[in-house]
Structure 1
Amino acid sequence: MKHIYLVRHCKAAGQEPEAPLTLEGNQQAELLGEFFINKNVEYIISSPYERAKHTIRPLSERLNLRIHTDNRLQERVLSIKQLDNWMELLERTYIDDELLYEGGESSNEATTRGMKVINEMLQRPEKTIVIVTHGALLSLLIRQYKKQFGFEDWKKLTNPDVYKLEVNKGEAYIERIWQ
């Protein structure tokens, strides 16, 4: 049995890659570290964005585990243009997985890169892995195991949030475990 914990980063001061966690986000990261301390985590992989790495740093330090980074876990790019109606446009991408905005990536493209990471983690020898990413990508990954997971579910994700993916003999089960 393999356990992969999919984590959305804690509250951050912005959306840019260098955005740090807020004071509340730093406190959340400490709580997240406590949450995972008895879950036998053996491997940590994160988006390279500061808010993602800082989210899992307390756990990394407690367990003396390196935080591996992977660009494929960075947030999904909806568009390179400033979009006033970005929520409406994002919602459409949950209906049409191929929909593409200028300079952005489709839901399928983002899902494909994220699933490559999950599939690689499933091949690793470690049984318990933490993956830290961002809300839009997380929602697309959850959708691979819960087909009905959509835009309204994305809006309900919290910072942080944790989903546990269990895979055993080709069978996969995912559930939200963060309270």
Structure 2
Amino acid sequence: MLTNLYFVRHAHSTYTPDELGRPLSNRGIADVERITNILERENIDIVMSSPYKRAVQTVEGVAKFIGKEVTVEDGFKERNLSVKPVEEFNLAITKVWEEPAFSWEGGESNINAQKRGIKATLKVLETYEGKNIVVGTHGNIMVLIMNFFDEIYGFSFWKDLDMPDIYKLTFDKKNLKKVNRIWNRT
């Protein structure tokens, strides 16, 4: 019995220092309709999301379409890079990918963030075996989860993601069988 996880990297958001409450931008809101249209054809059973507002907003159209609420799962929240804003984001993010055990002050290493994301993913695979599950999430944690199952998904892959983006991961039990990108900006 195959299980499909549709990882949806959140749409474009309006920057605010409130990481948890940061909303989608006008561009992001426009993309939500396209995301919903794509996922309406996928026979979705469950919609889950990171607790971050931008991730919830990105997938709530799908939840409304199937007549269910978005289930919030803390394990799918974005990795905490540092306790305070980093001066050079590209340098900071490159270092944590180059040194998986390294973390900036108050932040999560790739190893720790991946463990958190994998724990949530394995719980979903076990709880909803044979279902189609949408997961509203974030670029870094999504790729760290994908990387656990196949190392081809790494830093270069993360840098090439769109915002939003959708990847369908097909599992047999807890074994990743295939990955398909189902988002197309055009």
Give the TM-score normalised by structure 2: 0.90
Give the whole-Å Cα distance in 2 for the aligned partners of 1:24 and 1:134.
17
Give the whole-Å Cα distance in 1 for the aligned partners of 2:58 and 2:173.
31
Give the whole-Å Cα distance in 2 for the aligned partners of 1:96 and 1:123.
31
Question: Match of 2:149, SS?
Answer: coil
Give the whole-Å Cα distance in 2 for the aligned partners of 1:138 and 1:122.
15
Q: Tell me: CA distance 1:169–1:134, structure 2 relative to 1, closer, same or farther (3 Å).
A: closer
Q: 1:115 is matched with which residue?
A: 118
Structure 2 stretches lacking a partner, 5+ long: none
Within the alignment, does 1:42 sit opposite 2:45 as a pair?
yes
Within the alignment, does 1:171 sit opposite 2:172 as a pair?
no
Question: Match of 1:30, SS?
Answer: helix
Identical amino acids, percent of aligned pairs = 30
Give the whole-Å Cα distance in 2 for the aligned partners of 1:103 and 1:171.
33
Mapping of 1:27-106 within 5 angstroms?
A: 27-106=30-109
Structure 1 stretches lacking a partner, 5+ long: none
Question: Match of 2:135, SS?
Answer: strand
Q: Give the superposition deviation at 1:174.
A: 2.1
Q: Tell me: CA distance 1:66–1:59, structure 2 relative to 1, closer, same or farther (3 Å).
A: same
Runs of 4 or more consecutive aligned structure 1 residues displaced over 4 Å after TM superposition: none
Q: Give the superposition deviation at 1:145.
A: 2.5
AA partner of residue 177 (structure 1): I
Deviates more, 1:144-153 or 1:35-44: 144-153
Q: Give the superposition deviation at 1:116.
A: 0.9
Deviates more, 1:123-132 or 1:69-78: 123-132
Q: Give the superposition deviation at 1:171.
A: 3.3
Give the whole-Å Cα distance in 1 for the aligned partners of 2:162 and 2:67.
27
Deviations 1:62-111 (A, max 9, x none): 11111000122111111112221221121121122100110001001111
Q: 2:4 is matched with which residue?
A: 3
Give the TM-score normalised by structure 1: 0.94
Instruction: Report if aligned partners of 1:142, 1:174 keep a CA contact under 8 Å in 2.
Output: no
Q: 1:148 is matched with which residue?
A: 152
Give the whole-Å Cα distance in 2 for the aligned partners of 1:49 and 1:21.
11
Task: Give the aligned length.
Answer: 179
AA partner of residue 31 (structure 1): R
Q: CA RMSD in A?
A: 1.4
